[in-house]
């Protein structure tokens, strides 16, 4: 019965997401922005000599930093729109188990974000692989042709897709906590971009390193690094784990709020 309820709730969440035309445009925006920004950076970066120190893979995936903003907006609106229109009352009336509502929203959001992320990330790597050799990223300068078969490139690609999904879950959890779209978007973007700004302001290297290790965006996007990994303040997968902890905490708090409130 419980699995049937989750299946029904998941189908309902998919219908709500699919029938709102704004969501389709936003998800298309994730792909477009990820590709456009990644392509722009790939076409402007240069490596003019051996050992120029640039990370070709990470440059191609720069668009993920912009795409995550739209992912967060989609996630927040998935909850915020229901609260603003009063539809959340209908949702919990149809699915009385509040955690089933939470899990179904998280599952549908993760699915669409993963698909969108795969398209954006693979497209960015394809563009980078075509453009960057003409910008000096050649074997003569120490750069092998970019290929998903390369373990570090594959890790950067898979990690970037997972990162986008985790940012979506973070946004979903925060939206459930505050129940207001504008406030939730502000909090998510603040968490993503405040820590990097604070790191630039603080001069103590130990505090800088600590902030880089706990900041969701700085730690999470370390998974894209393929050059100088040993110099990172936190390892690539460990950094992604930090984002997973932020998302898990937000979902746990959001789920608790969903259960304890009338709606």
This prediction has a pTM of: 0.94
Among 162, 178, 176, 7, residue whose Cα is nearest residue 71: 162
Is the per-residue pLDDT at 3 higher than 70? no
Crossing angle of the two packed helices 64-85 and 87-94, in degrees rounded to 10: 80
202-226 tens-digit pLDDT: 989 999 999 999 999 999 999 999 9
Main-chain dihedrals φ then ψ at residue 234, nearest 5 degrees = -150, 145
Residue 72: Cβ within 10 Å count: 25
- What is the distance between the alpha carbons of residues 229 and 256, in angstroms, rounded to a whole number? 38
State how many domains the chain has.
1
Nearest to 257 by CA among 29, 146, 92: 92
pLDDT at 234: 96
Question: Residue 91: its pLDDT value, please?
Answer: 87
What's the mean pLDDT in 169-194? Answer: 96
Q: Could you read off the pLDDT of 96-129 as tens digits, one per residue? A: 888 999 999 999 999 999 999 999 999 999 999 9
Average pLDDT rounded to a whole number, residues 20-25: 90
Enclosing domain of residue 155: 2-47+56-260
From the list 165, 173, 206, 197, the residue with the least C-alpha distance to 67 is 165
């Amino acid at each position: 019965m419980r699995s049937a309820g989750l299946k029904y709730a998941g189908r309902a969440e998919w219908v709500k997401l699919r029938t709102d035309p704004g969501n389709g445009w936003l998800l298309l925006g994730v792909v477009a922005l990820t590709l456009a920004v990644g392509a722009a950076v790939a076409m402007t970066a240069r490596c003019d000599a051996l050992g120029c120190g640039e990370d070709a893979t990470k440059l191609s995936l720069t668009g993920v930093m912009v795409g995550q903003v739209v992912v967060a907006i989609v996630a927040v609106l998935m909850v915020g729109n229901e609260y603003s229109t009063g539809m959340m009352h209908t949702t919990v009336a149809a699915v009385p188990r509040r955690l089933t509502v939470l899990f179904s929203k998280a599952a549908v959001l993760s699915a669409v974000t993963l698909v969108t992320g795969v398209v954006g990330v693979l497209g960015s790597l394809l563009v980078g692989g075509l453009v960057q050799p003409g910008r000096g990223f050649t074997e003569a300068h120490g750069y092998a042709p970019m290929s998903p078969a390369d373990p570090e490139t594959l890790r950067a690609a898979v990690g970037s897709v997972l990162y986008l999904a985790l940012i979506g879950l973070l946004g979903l959890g925060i939206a459930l906590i505050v129940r207001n779209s504008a406030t939730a978007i502000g909090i998510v973007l603040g968490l993503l971009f405040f820590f990097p700004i604070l790191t630039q302001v603080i001069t103590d290297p130990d505090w800088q390193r600590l902030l880089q290790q706990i900041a969701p965006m700085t730690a999470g996007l370390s998974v894209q690094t393929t050059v100088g990994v040993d110099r990172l303040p936190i390892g690539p997968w460990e950094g992604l784990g930090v984002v997973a902890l932020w998302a898990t905490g937000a979902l746990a708090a959001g789920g608790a709020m969903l259960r304890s409130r009338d709606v």
